[in-house]
Amino acid sequence: MTFLFYYLLILNLLDAALTYYGLENTFIVELNQLMHAIYDIILYCSSSQNLLFPYSLYYYY
């Protein structure tokens, strides 16, 4: 079961890194209006939610 949490953590880390890179270099555009507003305000904090979720699952379990 621990392997799945590590796998989820790695996938979320990769997702956060690619999303940050894509949004900063305008390779991708956020179509969700709420997330677009959040990314415009604080990109670093919104991408950290991808990392906090698997950590919270790991420590909760």
DSSP string, 13-49: HHHHHHHHHHHHTTSS----HHHHHHHHH-HHHHHHH
Is the pLDDT score of 7 beyond 70? yes
Give every CB contact of residue 54 below 8 A, 6+ residues apart in sequence: 5, 8, 9, 12
How does pLDDT run across 22-61, given as a tens digit for each residue? 988 989 998 988 888 877 787 666 666 766 777 777 777 6
Q: What is the pLDDT of residue 27?
A: 92
More confident residue, 46 or 4: 4
Q: Is the pTM of this model over 0.75?
A: no
